Amino acid sequence: MSNLQIGLAISGGLVLAGVVAYNAWSTRKNAPRQAQPDALDPAQQAQAVEPGFDVNQFDGGLATLHAVEKRAPLDALIDVIAAVGLDTCVSGEAALAAMPATRRVGSKPFGLEGLNEVSLTWETPAPGQRYSAFQTGVQLANRTGALNEIEFSEFVQKTQSFADVFNGTPEFPEMRDEVARAKELDQFAGDHDAQLGFTLRAKKTAWSPGYVQQHASRRGFVVGALPGRMVLPASVPGLPPVLDLSFDTHAALADDPAQSAIHALTLSLDVPLVREDERAFERMCDVAIALAASMDGLITDDNGRIIPIDGLAMIGTDLAQLYATLAEHDLAAGSVLARRLFS
């Protein structure tokens, strides 16, 4: 082999080595940012691992949620209520056996309460109790729309079937009046429903699920019940979360989450479901600003437009008026009735 050939071979090898090195550097540079367990205290280090979304860690207490969130009492403000008179008292066991198989009327919740013979209060029928009267109810409106004539008729049928078991006498309000009331309530709810969202976008390097989880957990978020979701819990256990933080579900469920590239997060607030004293919007802004700073991101709207920090104050002013209006109509944000109506 001539000196020229040897020189060319060496040069080619150097070029190849340079290409390999560049590609390796480029891969590292463009790889999603990873969580850094060493930067966390021992209590957080377990959360820094790329999430597998084990059902046992979701929200830190689904059992509490189910225990606290029982069916709310019927209320004439948002329910159609039908009284069911009885000739004799009925046991809780018999009432439970006669209840409809489903607690829905179309897209609306159906409820049944008994007047406790001893306490003289309305309650969901329970074993070991006796009831001197019953009342059924169907919700006038929710986020699927207003109660319509077909749903009202189904409500009448369910109530009549239950009453017939005990030779009870149901008394129904006028359908036309209740449907009109449902439309009015639905209009009010639509005019005063607010679901806010910010998008956090990576400026340059994408984020891995573990990186997102690490930074969000430092702001008080815990793993949610769905892959790709984290929540900021309410101060009262069992109530809806104050804020939601979500990203691509496929990234969360990837075989190797560390290699999943997340370019955007959605930070959201369902205003009517969260109590005003949680300072949800203020905390939402603080979280967005803090995460954008620590994760090298931008705060934008759904269309990718950057939201200026001073523009957030205007939103807060509008929300204060919304909170006041809901409270004036006995539908304070985060209350039982508000959570039912805006569901």
DSSP code, position 273: G
Domains and CATH numbers, the chain: 37-67+192-341 (3.30.1400.10), 72-190 (3.30.1400.10)
Q: How high is the pLDDT of residue 57? A: 39
**Which tokens in the block code for residue 256?**
């190797």
Rounded to 5°, the CA angle 192-196-197 comes to 165
Nearest Cα neighbor of 135 from 178, 72, 82 is 82
- Contact indicator for 82, 131 with CB cutoff of 8 Å: no
Q: How high is the pLDDT of residue 68? A: 39
pLDDT along the chain (343 residues), means of 10: 51 47 48 65 41 39 39 88 97 97 96 97 97 98 98 98 98 98 98 96 94 96 94 95 95 84 96 97 95 95 85 84 97 97 97
Q: How high is the pLDDT of residue 2? A: 59
Please state the pTM of the whole predicted model.
0.79
